[in-house]
Amino acid sequence: MKNSMTYRRRSGLLSALLCAGLAWAVPLQASAEDAYPSKNIRFVVPYPPGGPTDLMARLLQTELQTRLGVTVIVDNKSGAGGNTGSAEVAKQAPADGYTILLAASGPMAVNPTLYKSMPFNPQTDLAPVIQISSFPLVLEVNPKVGVKTVKELVNLLKVQKTSLSFASAGNGTPQHLAGELFNTQLDTNLAHIPYRGAGPALNDVLGGQVGVMFDIIASSLPHIQGGKLTPLAVTSTKRSAALPNVPTMAEAGFPGMEMTAWHGIAVRSGTPQQIVDKLNSTLNTIFQQPDFQKKWEAIGSPVVGGTAAQFADLIKKENVRLGKLVKDSGATVD
């Protein structure tokens, strides 16, 4: 009887301690999330320094440090079309919000089809936080091509049967996919010439070795302003503030030709929702500041923002749309 009573007392004590531990665990976890961030944040950019993705990260770095009160360290982890850095966040980083990813349309929506083997699944291994950019492309030609509108270019290709090529920054890039979409939608036969980067591709268009290119507006703007390239249309739904006199593809008579190079912020899947919400709220606040909006628009993208769910929906839809373009083109890098 005595042993039985002792056992019951010990069991009761253990149960009480366990319950107390559980009771403390929830407040402690909530407290850790409420205190976020309390240490440095690593901002992974899956491309080399100096490019547009790096520039976006540097602009956000300053603002995030000011608003979050911690140091934000930009870490460029390039390789495999953005897969290397993206996979590091998706598979190796703790799911605690202290490693954030600049999530680009390439690794998030194009590469799952372009690469035969992916080191991560962008839709299950990463949690979207917010969309931050939507860079429209400009359809441009070397002046020697002799056209000034999209209709004239289409006539040159389909009626006069002129053979023309378009340059891109490489297989699966927005420049490439815009050209494939053009061929699909307009039933044309522009031949694709992939380069190792947008710079070499643009140089050959400027030199006249290649006649046509879809390019990020910011890259081509100085050459357009200098008369070295003729802009025909932009691939966004609205005209670009940088090229207000250039029509959209829809205005030029060819709807359904929307194509942008978009980017966002993501964290590893499993990151507490409270932390995702904190990052989303902070970034939306940054994008609402007029001074920051001017800096952002100066690099070629309108201010985007929005909810994490909206960014997740974009990734899902673009994975299907862009994946089909890649598949239909036959492009691969493996």
**Phi/psi at 36 (5° precision):** -65, 135
Tens digit of pLDDT for each residue in 176-229? 999 999 999 999 999 999 998 888 999 999 999 999 999 999 889 999 999 999
Q: Are 106 and 82 in contact (CB under 8 A)?
A: yes
CA 295 to CA 330: how far, in whole Å? 38
Would the pLDDT of 14 be above 80?
A: no
The pLDDT of residue 334 is 65
- The contacts of residue 117 (CB under 8 Å, 6+ apart) are 334
The pLDDT of residue 198 is 87
Name the pLDDT band for 328 (thresholds 50, 70, 90): confident
Q: Whole-number mean pLDDT of the chain?
A: 90
Would the pLDDT of 23 be above 60?
A: no
Mean pLDDT, range 92-121, rounded to an integer: 96
Name the pLDDT band for 30 (thresholds 50, 70, 90): low
Tens digit of pLDDT for each residue in 255-264? 999 999 999 9
**Which is nearest to 52 in space by CA: 286, 191, 215, 273?**
215
- The contacts of residue 94 (CB under 8 Å, 6+ apart) are 268
Would the pLDDT of 17 be above 80?
A: no
**Which is nearest to 217 in space by CA: 299, 141, 132?**
299
The pLDDT of residue 329 is 85
Tell me the percentage of the chain whose pLDDT exceeds 70.
90
The pLDDT of residue 16 is 47
Distance of CA 203 to the CA centre of its chain: 25
Residue type, 184: T
CA 189 to CA 161: how far, in whole Å? 9
**Which is nearest to 282 in space by CA: 300, 267, 262?**
267
CA 293 to CA 286: how far, in whole Å? 8
E strand or H helix at 310, and its extent?
Answer: helix 308-329
Question: Which domains occur in the chain, in start order?
Answer: 41-135+261-329 (3.40.190.150), 136-234 (3.40.190.10)
Higher pLDDT, 15 or 114: 114
Structure tokens at 185: 């939608």
Q: Are 97 and 307 in contact (CB under 8 A)?
A: no
Count Cβ neighbours within 10 Å for each residue of 84-102 and write b for 16 or more, e otherwise: bbbbbbbeebeebbbbbbb
Tens digit of pLDDT for each residue in 109-164? 999 999 999 999 999 999 999 999 999 999 999 999 999 999 999 999 999 999 99
Other C-beta atoms within 10 Å of 210: how many? 23
What is the SS3 string spanning 269-305? CCCCHHHHHHHHHHHHHHHCCHHHHHHHHHCCCCCCC
